[in-house]
Amino acid sequence: MKSSKTMTDEIIQTHSSGSSIDEAVTLSIVVPVFNEAEAVGYFLERLKQVFEKGARINLDIVFVNDGSTDNTLSRLLELQRDNTTIRIVDLSRNFGKEAALTAGLKAAKGHVIVPIDVDLQDPPELIPKMIEKWREGFDVVLGKRINRDSDSWSKQKSSTWFYRLHNKISDLQLPENVGDFRLMDRAVVDALGELTESRRFMKGLFAWVGFRTATIEYTRPKRSAGRSKFNGWSLWNFALEGITSFSNAPLRIWTYLGSAVAFTSFIFALFIMLRVLVYGTDVPGYASIIVSITFLGGIQLIGIGIIGEYLGRTYIESKHRPVYLVRRIYEIKD
Ligand code: UDP
Ligand code: MG
């Protein structure tokens, strides 16, 4: 680009972090891995193909070994011998993907940072396109899945419903069909680092920090090797985590539900009194009593459960435990 820029060009072509568009960029690729010995080799191979020609891009590859119990770590160390741009953050146990991502973002040194799954479900070919968008002046470039045929029907449906519900009851809008795969400017990652909560629903935190955002669409392919670490139950818990992280609506709904039930029973009481006055006492009523007792008991238990959910979160946050513990960082200094 020409050196004689106008003032407005200058503004548009620097990022929130102040990184200029022209200089050679360092790209940090953050890859959480949990029992992925089979997948890491394929992943690096593909990455190599994508960045072979990119002379203006320095790579900084951060693998976070999230307490793998197979030989993922030894595989990574083996691969590191041929590729000194790899660093390995080895966590002390399995802390879950959200914590592993947090660890990786903290370790990343680049001007731009891209979290990515190791199983090639987030195509690395998209990263150069994301960098182009970043060069246009965007701080965040989202990868949006336009086709999720590779996911099961139930996973697609439950995800659609989750986003609908979440976006209805929360002030924070989560973009649909967008995972953790995205490019972020240094400033965005620094902002994320300032968020102190220890229960980290990354999708929500990513959306919460904001910044100038662009979107690139892609088709999500099948996993390269190994199997998914998330089953139905863990996805359900993940959804609860998301909703309780960013919305108080489930807590407040009880005031309205309680009022509605109380109002209805008041009307019902009036109705019974009138009926007694007109027709005299009526002994049968066993069924309706049992139904209303169990119904109200159920509603109360759900209410208590939801309060418990939030109380539990407060309890865990109040301990201020670190999000993860690092056992060791492996890096080759040159
Ligand atoms: N992962 C992790 N810790 C976990 C579970 C998963 O670091 O406790 C990593 C996993 O190795 C992969 C990424 O998170 O790189 C996405 O996992 P997966 O492909 O199983 O999720 P899915 O694509 O099925 O949602
Ligand atoms: Mg996957």
DSSP string, 50-65: HHSS-TTEEEEEEEEE
Please, what is the average pLDDT of the chain? 84
Question: What pLDDT, on the 0 to 100 scale, is given for residue 206?
Answer: 84
Report whether pLDDT(157) > 70: yes
- State the pLDDT confidence band at 10, using cuts at 50, 70 and 90: very low
Mutate to test the pocket of ligand 1, among 36, 75, 120, 229 (most ligand atoms within 8 A of CB): 229
Question: What pLDDT, on the 0 to 100 scale, is given for residue 118?
Answer: 93
pLDDT in tens, 273-306: 888 888 877 667 766 787 788 788 878 888 888 8
- State the pLDDT confidence band at 50, using cuts at 50, 70 and 90: confident
Is residue 119 within 8 A of residue 40, CB to CB? The reply is no
Question: Is 146 strand, coil or helix?
Answer: strand
Mutate to test the pocket of ligand 1, among 97, 120, 180, 222 (most ligand atoms within 8 A of CB): 97
Q: Does residue 73's CB lie within 6 angstroms of at least one atom of ligand 1?
A: no
CATH superfamily of 19-243+323-331: Spore Coat Polysaccharide Biosynthesis Protein SpsA; Chain A (3.90.550.10)
Report whether pLDDT(4) > 60: no
Q: What CA–CA distances, in Å, run from 154 to 158, 160, 162, 232, 328? A: 6, 10, 12, 9, 39
Phi, psi at residue 33, to the nearest 5°? Answer: -135, 135
Question: Is 88 strand, coil or helix?
Answer: strand
What length does the chain have?
A: 334
Question: What pLDDT, on the 0 to 100 scale, is given for residue 1?
Answer: 39
Higher pLDDT, 24 or 90: 90
Model confidence, pTM: 0.72
Question: What pLDDT, on the 0 to 100 scale, is given for residue 260?
Answer: 86
The H-assigned helical ranges of 170-248 are 186-194, 202-209, 232-246
- State the pLDDT confidence band at 109, using cuts at 50, 70 and 90: very high
Report whether pLDDT(207) > 50: yes
Q: What is the dihedral of CA 144, 197, 309, 160, to 10 degrees?
A: 0
* Torsion over CA: 269, 271, 273, 275 (sign): negative
Distance CA 308, CA 286 (A): 33
How many Å lie between the centroid of ligand 2 and the Cα of residue 230?
9
Q: Which atom of ligand 1 is nearest to the CA of 118?
A: 15
Question: What pLDDT, on the 0 to 100 scale, is given for residue 273?
Answer: 81
